[in-house]
Copies of this chain bind each other. A is one copy, B any other.
């Protein structure tokens, strides 16, 4: 379904990799490199495209600053692939987080809304976490979304529709009376594996940390016990606060549920403001060259008070790394998601997205520190798809023309800490939510990726890279 990397290129990369890795790890003996466990940490910034990264960089580090991301040795580009929901469907040019997570988790292109099931035929697709667990490696997922949300779910669950997150959301799923889908075929009563939450509780994962407690509280299908109880029966210790997270048993499976659904984000607009529509005078409505347009007032980003109530992504990351590496000579696979870069962008909240890039950066810092003391740790950072935010000129390129220009859609005018003016627009949809966009996304890697991560890959190839590195 996708083009393999040219062998000649791989050869060149492999050669250069050997040299480079030898340099990087010069202090470690060859013997250690042979016997040390191998681990892969895949960090996904949901919706973290070049626009989101640039906006966050400008705010967090300044226009000429550098993010942790920018300092990673390898930067590649990842082509996103989606298909119609048919066996041989035509390509679809804009993805959702379900089909993209499936691509990364299973190496197979599927249709929007699907969680590690195949387009058209609805067959379960084996995930990298399942392969790793079967080979004796530990596995974990960490997210700022619900654990049952599309991105984390695709690493350990298999279902036809991402909305089927808990046992009560399996039949005739509707929102405000509008039917959005149905997972009846996936009911246990019908021979399926049940909802996403139930599948996670029955999964082989060792660590699950994130939000989504409300999806674990309903009774598991056909039982009188909650999905959380099911998880406990399967050996998970369950924690719900940062304090509890800090004192877990290191040798026991770990389920952290820190909020009913998505965790609170780190930053918000001043006075909780989001992007707003420029206000056109009545004369401007009569003719676009007439009258005036009032742009949204400038704002800064401020801390979201609710954020302090939950463990942050870095704390969850460090807990996961600690659990997965504890007394472990077999290695592990860990997926870490900063989910609300995307979610805040859907809601036209640039400060929210910026803060969640910051959370990803902090998690990355912890993973890099871990890799310093754990050889053979491949770090991959990427996005699942592109998103709506656009950094546009604060002063129009055409400001010489005395015409009231303004952006369609909604605009946020943010004053950065260095005193610059960022104008960010959201203009993909008139709906209450913005749409994703279709651009390729960046893929970053540490030096362990040399010889393995070429300059351009298709999203499903990420699965191959991880599988090959872990020798599964």
Interface residues of A (CB under 8 A from B): 1-3, 6, 9, 11-13, 15-17, 19-20, 23-24, 49-51, 53-55, 57-58, 62-64, 66, 70-77, 79, 81-82, 90-94, 96, 112, 175, 178-181, 288, 386, 388, 390-398, 400-403, 405-409, 418-423, 425, 427-431, 433, 435-442, 444, 447, 450, 455-456, 458
Q: Please, which residues of chain B bring their CB within 8 A of the CB of A455? A: 70, 72-75, 444
A433 to B388 CA separation, bound complex (whole angstroms): 20
Known: A90-B419, A419-B90. A433 touches B390 (CB 8 A): no
Cβ contacts A to B, 22 pairs, < 8 Å: A3-B64, A9-B73, A16-B19, A16-B450, A19-B19, A53-B440, A58-B91, A63-B82, A63-B91, A70-B79, A73-B455, A75-B455, A75-B456, A93-B423, A94-B423, A390-B390, A391-B438, A392-B428, A393-B436, A406-B429, A406-B430, A408-B427
Contact B91 A418 (CB under 8 A): yes
Known: A11-B23, A19-B19, A64-B91. A405 touches B430 (CB 8 A): yes
A415: min CB distance to chain B, Å: 11
Contact B50 A386 (CB under 8 A): yes
Looking across the interface, which residue of chain B has its beta carbon closest to that of A113?
B397
Copies in the complex: 2
Contact A439 B400 (CB under 8 A): no
A436 to B126 CA separation, bound complex (whole angstroms): 43
Q: Please, which residues of chain B bring their CB within 8 A of the CB of A396? A: 429, 431, 435
Contact B54 A438 (CB under 8 A): yes
Q: Please, which residues of chain B bring their CB within 8 A of the CB of A395? A: 92
Looking across the interface, which residue of chain B has its beta carbon closest to that of A441?
B50
Contact B64 A390 (CB under 8 A): no
A455 to B421 CA separation, bound complex (whole angstroms): 27
A420 to B91 CA separation, bound complex (whole angstroms): 6
A134 to B295 CA separation, bound complex (whole angstroms): 50
CB < 8 Å: which of B50, B409, B439, B456 contacts A71?
Answer: B456
CB < 8 Å: which of B16, B55, B66, B393 contacts A16?
Answer: B16
A181 to B398 CA separation, bound complex (whole angstroms): 12
Q: Please, which residues of chain B bring their CB within 8 A of the CB of A91? A: 58, 62-64, 418, 420
